[in-house]
Amino acid sequence: MERILYESEVLSFAEFHCPADAPLWLELNTIETGPHVVFPGTSVVIRHLGCTPVLANPNHVMFYNPGQRFQRRLHDPSGDRCFYVRLGRRLLADVTGGRDDLPFAYGPSSADAYLAHRLVVSHLRSGNHDSLFVEETLTHAIGRVTADAFASRQIGRRRTRPTTFAVHHELVESAKELLTVHLTERLPLRFFARMLHTSEFHLARVFRNATGFSLHQYRNQLRLRLALERLSRDDVQLSFLAHELGFASHSHFTDSFRQVFGVPPSALERGLTAGDLRSLRRIVEPPLRAAQMPGSSLAR
C-alpha cells in the first residue's frame, strides 16, 4: 500500500506499507521513478542488487536511484512500514553537490532528521497543511541525512580494507539484529559479545566506528523513535509506554526523550498545535541547517 501525502515540483512525500503476506517479499523490486530517500518505520532486511544485506530500521535511512533493484526480507511481523521522499532534480543536485544520483545505499538517521520527518507526518495528517513548512522541513532533513551519508562513506573508505570492511559489516549487522530483537531488555555488553563470538572491546569499537553510535545509544535511539511513533495514538499512557520500552522509570523515559528530541513526550502526547509546530521548528531547523554539505546550495 502506497499513499502520497504531499507532492510538488520540489519533492513528493509518501507512506508505504508492505504487509507480511504480500507477494513483494518474493519478488525482485525496482524503483521506477525518481531518487528515493526512505525513513524506515519498522525493521526490514534490504539488499540492493549486488550489495550485502542491511537491516534497515528507524536509526537508518535507505537511498535508491531510479531503476534500483532490491529485495526485502521480513524481520518485523507487521511487514515493511516506511515514509519516503522522492527528490526532484534540483533538490537532488543541491543535496549531493551537483550529482545526478545518490552514491550510497544507506546512511545514519540523526535524531533531528527523524523528528523532522515525523513532524511533517503529523502536520499533514492534521489537515490544512502549510506547503512552506512541509517543503522546508523535509528539504533540511534530506540535506542532513545525505550529508551524514557522505561523511560516513568517506570515513569508512579511509579506515578499512575491503576484506576487513566485509567482516566488520557482518558483525555490525548481526549486532543490530540482536539489539532490535532484544530492544526492551536491559542486557549487558557481554551478552551481545558472547552471542556474536567476539570480545566486548572489539564489538564496541567496530560498532561505533560503523554506525556512529555506541550500542547503548543505538538501542536508546530505537526505543525513543518507537515511542515517538506511539505517541500519536489516542490511548497512550506515558508510564506504561516507558515500562513497555524498557526504561527504568517514567522520569528516565522523559529525560531521555527530552535530551534527544528537545521536548518532553507530553508535548507530543496531546497532539501538535500551531504553537507546538512553531516551537519544534526552532528546535529542528538550526541543527539541520548547520549540517548541510559544504558547497551545496542548501549551505549557502
Give yes or no: residues 6 and 154 share one domain: yes
Q: Which residues contact 131 (CB under 8 A, 6 or more apart)?
A: 6, 8
* Residue 84: φ, ψ to 5°: -140, 155
Classify residue 48: in a domain, yes or no: yes
pLDDT of 271 reads 53
- The grid cell for 154 is 568517506
Domain presence at residue 283: no
Residue 36 · residue 86 · CB < 8 Å: yes
In a 13 Å sphere around the CA of 65, the CA atoms on its Cβ side amount to: 10
Asked if 140 and 10 sit in the same domain, the reply is yes
16 and 65 co-located in one domain: yes
Please tell me whether residues 149 and 169 are part of one structural domain: no
Asked, for residue 53, whether it belongs to a domain, the answer is yes
Q: What's the pLDDT score for residue 140?
A: 85
Question: Do 147 and 170 belong together in one domain?
Answer: no
Domain of 166, in residue numbers: 162-231+233-270
Check whether residue 152 and residue 197 sit in a common domain.
no
The answer to whether residue 278 sits within a structural domain is no
CA distance 23 to 117: 28
Phi and psi at residue 4, to the nearest 5°: -75, 125
DSSP string, 108-170: E--HHHHHHHHHHHHHHHTSS--HHHHHHHHHHHHHHHHHHHHHHHHHHHHH--HHHHHHHHH
Per-residue pLDDT in tens (0 to 9) along the chain, 300 residues: 899 999 998 899 999 999 999 999 999 999 988 999 999 999 999 999 988 999 999 999 999 999 999 999 999 999 999 999 999 998 998 889 889 999 999 999 999 899 989 989 988 987 778 787 888 889 889 989 999 999 887 644 445 566 788 899 999 999 999 999 999 888 888 899 999 998 898 888 888 888 888 888 899 899 999 898 888 776 778 888 888 888 878 888 998 888 888 888 887 765 544 454 445 544 444 443 333 433 433 333
295 and 153 in one domain?
Answer: yes
Total-model pTM:
0.78
Could you tell me the CATH number of the domain that includes residue 205? 1.10.10.60
The domain tally of the chain equals: 2
Q: 1 and 17 in contact (C-beta within 8 Å)? A: yes
Cell numbers standing for residue 205: 569499537
For residue 256, give the H/E element and its range. helix 250-261
Q: Is 193 helix (H, G, I), strand (E, B) or coil?
A: helix
**Which residue, 260, 266, 179, 171, is CA-closest to 216?**
179
Q: Are 114 and 96 members of one domain?
A: yes
Contact 62, 53 (CB under 8 A): no
User: Same domain, yes or no, for 127 and 255?
Assistant: no
Let me know if residue 279 belongs to a domain: no
